[in-house]
Structure 1
Amino acid sequence: MTSVLYDVPGPRANRRNSILAVVTIVVVIAIVAFVLWRFALSGQFEASKWNVFTFTTVWVQIGSMLLNTLKAFAAAAVLSLAVGFILAIGRLSDHKWVRIPVTVITEAFRAIPVLVLMMILYYGLPTLGIKMEPYWAVVLALMVYNGAVLAEALRAGVESLPRGQREAGFSIGLRKSGVMMLILLPQAIRAMLPVIIAQLVVTMKDTALGFIITYHELLYYAKLLSTQPGRPILQAALIIGGIYIIMCLLLSWFANWLEKRTHRNLKNPHVAERDPAADDDATLTSVIGTQDLDRLGKP
């Protein structure tokens, strides 16, 4: 028996896959057991190694550093999205004097590592007489890099749309800006939403690079904790790493919820019969809304 995309595995293939699955599980369990054994052998589970986390002051400081991390992430995320929209629109411009410089800027920002940008802003600008706080160095570096990446994602989303969407917008009298803002960009955002959220997760994790320029965030405090008596390096890494995992999982959950909600809103359970000649109007109405069409003077 065959399927459209692949051959359905037979009894021998099923046995082989089952054996491979069992072997994989055994290998993973063995690796985890070996790591735990090494931890126990080196005394990583001793109470003295975890003693620093029994103090309330430590958890208060962890909460403060978490707040600093979220503040940098929130500002960088909003600014990255704004820069991404601007660069994406510039790259899609029909005018070469706009498109070419924006393309050069976007590619340059994508090519420079985030850490290099942070060091230029924090250590390089003072040589020019400009002093920048670590917070703004982190935020601006993340904004520049992730804004360029998001611009490419949005541009790809717009260019993946059917050409008829653009032509239908022009047919009702919309200008280029109206077609872009009311028709193309909303659909591109919905199409590229998983990519946008994935890049925001990267933005959140990249805030950890701020510890190199002395920004007081989670990783900076983990490094500080590792210098305490008993040198709880692995313990601090596990605690702080767990916090990052929880934040990324929450952001991924929000992305899935937003994507499902967006798709649910696009589905209309009450679909009335319509005149085939009005297909373009119905398509545009679903994309830009009835109020926008009324404002544009569409009957």
Structure 2
Amino acid sequence: MSQKATVLFDAPGPRAKVRNNIIGVVGVALLALGGYWIYHKFDQTGQFEKQKWDPFQYSGIQELIFDGLKSTLKAFALAVVFSLVLGALLAAGRLSDHKVVRWAATAFVTFFRAMPLLILIFFLYIAPAKLSGWPGFLDFINDDPMWPLVIGLTLYNGTVQAETMRAGILALPRGQSEAAYAIGMRKSQVMASILVPQGIRAMLPTIISQMVVTLKDTSLGFIITYPELLYTAKQIGAVQDYGLPLIPAAIVIGSIYIVICMLLSAFAVWLERFLSRGRKGRPPKIKPPTGESIAAPGVAAGV
């Protein structure tokens, strides 16, 4: 282990250690000064006055924030599920042997990855009311602003997830698919049984990271009056009786976003470790004739 460490990383010498310590101290000092400057500016403008923070003590405001949190999580959950399904279908289309399917999937991915998400959500919100001849079965999009947000998030994040999944599948050794074809498996069987599970495991951190982006992008529902957390912050910050507490509302709502993203990131770390343990497994124990239980070779050495 020490040999690998010396090969991959050279331990810093005395001068490098001093230089790194100085850089660390200066960096911490700059961060502390920046934090104090922000606090001082907020304090100068009266953002920490008791009047501006009083609304958060009332159950009505707390219930409003809780409702905004539920709306955010609802849109997030639907967008994540739909984007993963769409991503899997588009990834399969991009890897298809049929040119028409592959070109259609490529055009779809290229278009919606290039389309700004805010414009896409706003278009889906106004199109049903402005375009004549809109199919009647799509009236639900015009009735609830949640659906333009969810559909926009699905189309954009689905194309990103498709490229992530495709990259994970293409990164696998070709020998696995060739061996599967050699024993008579069809391409659909190879994809479903061998390549896709391994590709998703390999790209799981990237997939979870895109989910975090999806969660933060739910705040774009503010532009179409969807009552998510950012829209709730605007409602609270516009109350005249409490001195327009927009900054305190932004601090509270921003803290909620940070906590949710941290929980999602922690879940990603746990899931990656869980899948890694499940893939490697535990070495079996060998019972000698004497009845004493010893570990398999290599376990004691940490292999």
TM-score under structure 2 normalisation?
0.87
> Which residue of 2 is the match for residue 118 of structure 1?
121
> Which residue of 2 is the match for residue 99 of structure 1?
102
Is residue 239 of structure 1 aligned with residue 252 of structure 2? yes
Deviation at 1:268, TM superposition (A): 2.5
> Which residue of 2 is the match for residue 294 of structure 1?
none
Structure 1 CA distance, aligned partners of 2:263 and 2:29? 30
> Which residue of 2 is the match for residue 214 of structure 1?
225
Structure 1 CA distance, aligned partners of 2:34 and 2:281? 50
Q: 2:8 aligns with which of 5, 8, 28?
A: 5
Structure 1 CA distance, aligned partners of 2:102 and 2:284? 41
Q: Which amino acid aligns with 2:7?
A: V
TM-score under structure 1 normalisation?
0.88
> Which residue of 2 is the match for residue 17 of structure 1?
20
Equivalences for residues 52-91 of structure 1 within 5 A: 52-91=55-94
Q: Which amino acid aligns with 2:265?
A: S
Structure 2 CA distance, aligned partners of 1:244 and 1:137? 21
Deviation at 1:123, TM superposition (A): 1.1
Structure 2 CA distance, aligned partners of 1:126 and 1:43? 43
Structure 1: give runs of 5+ residues left out of the alignment. 273-299
> Which residue of 2 is the match for residue 41 of structure 1?
44
Equivalences for residues 61-210 of structure 1 within 5 A: 61-129=64-132, 130=134, 131=139, 132=142, 133-210=144-221
SS at match of 1:269: coil
1:168-196, Cα deviation, whole Å (9 max, x unpaired): 11122210000000000000000000000
Structure 1 CA distance, aligned partners of 2:145 and 2:28? 45
Deviation at 1:6, TM superposition (A): 4.5
> Which residue of 2 is the match for residue 295 of structure 1?
none
Structure 2 CA distance, aligned partners of 1:81 and 1:250? 20
Structure 1 CA distance, aligned partners of 2:156 and 2:257? 21
- Report runs of 4+ in structure 1 exceeding 6 Å deviation: none
> Which residue of 1 is the match for residue 263 of structure 2?
250
1:110-162, Cα deviation, whole Å (9 max, x unpaired): 11111111111011232224452211000000000000000000000000000
Q: Which amino acid aligns with 2:162?
A: A
SS at match of 2:7: coil
Is residue 28 of structure 1 aligned with residue 31 of structure 2? yes
Q: Which amino acid aligns with 1:151?
A: A
SS at match of 1:3: helix
Q: Which amino acid aligns with 1:249?
A: M
Structure 1 CA distance, aligned partners of 2:284 and 2:100? 46
1:176-231, Cα deviation, whole Å (9 max, x unpaired): 00000000000000000000000000001100000100111110010111111201
What's the C-alpha RMSD, in Å, of the aligned pairs?
A: 1.6
Question: Across the two proteins, how many residue pairs are aligned to each other?
Answer: 272
